[in-house]
Amino acid sequence: MPTPSSMTNTFAQRLLHWFDQNGRKDLPWQQDINPYRVWLSEIMLQQTQVSTVIPYFQRMSNRWSDVHALAAAPLDEVLHQWTGLGYYARARNLHKTAQIISRDLDGIFPDNVEQLQALPGIGRSTAGAICAIAHNRHCAILDGNVKRVLARHDAIPGWPGKTAIANQLWDIAEKHTPAQRTGDYTQAIMDLGATLCTRSKPACTQCPVNADCLAFTRDETQLYPGKKATKALPIRQVLLLIIRDKKHQVLLQQRPPSGIWGGLWSFPECANEAELVTICARFGINIKSYRLASTLRHTFSHFHLDYTPVHIDTQGAAKGIADSSQRWVVPSAHGEIGLPAPILTLLNTLKT
């Protein structure tokens, strides 16, 4: 446990000393550091834990080793590699940004926050991380882990999602960010939040900055950061149509490019049983029989989706699919297409 004399060292000095001794230095994106790898990891780490991100980062960085390769990849392949990571707008923006950097910037990432923020999917904190880690620029970050560390250290009340609270935390973040070893400091403060200053049961006695942490000295770590007011999530109900042809293929439809599961492939859907015949007729399909399975739930950030799989056997030959947004696939061999995790799970349960 740090002694009161450790308060004579700055917040950054204590944190860097701890990082040198205890920080994580073997994460995949900490090897062969360059702007592309830092950007890729930072987008993946938005609202996602390190342990979840590691295999995705390894697969994608091996498959597309630089921004030109990622830009040249079909969006479907990018979404396929992203399947299961969630928040798919990140993948769509990743692809858009790769194309912009490859096409318009000769593959060179900007090295300042303002230009990076102008690119799809890059906010102020992500831009700061890229500048600090890849370019060692004097830029602050404020991701979820850092918000928690600073809110506790300075006992900042309120939910960090509020503009006034966020601005207060940004001021503190910029005050603590050192001009030297900015990249290491950025890694260090993210590490502190991920390994010691955790959401529940923080290891405060091991923290390098606990000597002047107000939440720790007051035994009030559970109060910070403040929580968002909770409200019941609305429920949306839908039928997912698992349409089989005589070859035991199932019909998939690509969703619109924006919105929930944007650009991903899913089963056709309708609101209720009364619409089944009409929806199937649009695909040139006559229903021989159908069966409703048990309703399942997938929760998004702002609503619950209750979806009921409807297993449909067709009658006669289904018409050929001319629209490129529709395709028949063998459930066990659907190809490299982007699939939402619940749809992939359903496909894997189907026998061919």
Q: How confident is the model at residue 8 (pLDDT cuts 50, 70, 90)?
A: low
pLDDT of residue 301: 86
Q: Which CATH superfamily is domain 235-349 in?
A: Nucleoside Triphosphate Pyrophosphohydrolase (3.90.79.10)
Residue 42 annotated as catalytic: yes
Residues 203-228: pLDDT tens digits? 999 999 999 999 999 999 999 999 98
Q: How far apart are CA 150 and CA 190, in angstroms?
A: 11
Query: Which of 106, 87, 111 has its CA nearest to residue 34?
Result: 111
CA angle 194, 200, 203 (to 5 degrees): 65
Quote the tokens at residue 190.
């993210």
The structural domains of the chain, with segments of one domain joined by +, span 4-223, 235-349
pLDDT in tens, 9-22: 899 999 999 999 99
**Given 42, 220, 275, 336, which residue is catalytic?**
42
> How do residues 51-80 score in pLDDT, each as one tens digit?
999 999 999 999 999 999 999 999 999 999
The class level of CATH for 4-223 reads mainly alpha
pLDDT (tens digit, 9 = 90+) per residue, 89-147?
A: 999 999 999 999 999 999 999 999 999 999 999 999 999 999 999 999 999 999 999 99
pLDDT tens across 263-297, in order? Answer: 999 999 999 999 999 999 888 889 999 999 999 99
Tell me how many helices (H) and strands (E) the chain has. 15, 8
Structure token pair of residue 103? 């096409």
Give the model's pLDDT for residue 352.
54
